[in-house]
Amino acid sequence: MRKSWWKILGVLLLVYTFIAGLLIEVPRNPQLEETIRNLFFHVCMWFGMMILFIVSFVRAIMYLRTNKHIHDIASRQYAGVGILFGVLGYLTGAIWMSYTWIDSNKSIFNSFDTIAREPKLIGAAIALLVYAAYLVLRDSIQDIDKRARISAVYNIFAFAMLFPSIWIIPRLLDSLHPGGSEGNPALDPGSASANMRLVFYPAIAGWTLIGVWIATLKIRMKIIHEQKLSQ
């Protein structure tokens, strides 16, 4: 175990999230009911994904500036864990949506045509696909230096694509999903109750730290692997 204090902090924050997240008083919202607690899990996946993608982007720039191979490995692994968090966010969103967005006069299957048009879902899908293309592009180049340079440049473009696809366009359009043109209820101090913010922020930190932990494990594994290959 290396530099373990922040790993312990991450685990403790998650334990706190799981206990307080289920026990605190939450606002009684007629549509959300108890599912409002998903804020501590589903929404945190997306925050974790964004933070991991930012780290990946920074490491890509660091690689281009210094040409050190370690930054290239780190950039790839942070992007991988970010995609994992994004997919988990998508899956949990699918479960949550099928209990809160479904038109009760229609079957789940028939409500799908309105749900499939949600700008947030389409934007998030574009962002995830752009990052999936990053993995495909990277792993299809054999030469190590060329691979590192091309994928670092692509990573910067992929990060730039996050701005329109998840931070701008879904915010401008009306949507069933919160955080559209009406503002972001999770971050607006006036909407989320103080109680919920007390769990929400630690939950983001906890999930992100676990994501960083997994990414560092993968980076260290990759380094050992490459050292074995070069021997």
Partner 1 sequence: MKKLIAIFTFIFLVFFANAQDVKMADIMKENGKIYVVIAVMLTILGGLVLYLIRLDRKISKLERNK
Q: Which residues contribute to the site for partner 1 (CB under 8 A)?
A: 1-2, 7, 11, 14-15, 18-19, 22-23, 28-30, 33-34, 210, 213-214, 217, 220-221, 224, 227
DSSP string for 73-110: HHHHHHHHHHHHHHHHHHHHHHHHHHHHTS-TTS-HHH
Q: Answer whether 210's CB lies under 8 Å from 84's CB.
A: no
CA-to-CA dists, residue 50 to 73, 159, 204, 208, angstroms = 19, 9, 11, 9
Quote the least distance from Cβ 30 to partner 1, whole Å.
Answer: 5
Q: Judged by CB, which is closer to partner 1: 17, or 155?
A: 17
Distance CA 79, CA 82 (A): 5
User: Cβ 216 to partner 1, closest distance in Å?
Assistant: 9
C-beta of 37 vs 147, nearer to partner 1? 37
Alpha-carbon distance of 114 to 119, in angstroms, equals 11
The CB-of-71 to partner 1 minimum distance in angstroms stands at 19
The answer to whether 203 and 17 have CB atoms below 8 angstroms apart is yes
Shortest distance, position 23 Cβ to partner 1, whole Å: 7
Contact 125, 56 (CB under 8 A): no
Q: Which is nearer to partner 1, 15 or 94 (CB)?
A: 15
Minimum distance between the CB of residue 162 and partner 1, rounded to whole angstroms? 27
Decide whether 101 or 154 has the Cβ nearer to partner 1: 101
Our CB check for partner 1 shows the closer of 18 and 90 to be 18
Cα distance between residue 19 and residue 15, in whole Å: 6
Q: By C-beta, is 24 or 169 nearer to partner 1?
A: 24
Provide the 3-class DSSP secondary structure of residue 55.
helix
Give me the least distance between CB of 218 and partner 1, in Å please.
10
CA separation, residue 220 to residues 28, 71, 77, 79 (Å): 46, 12, 10, 15
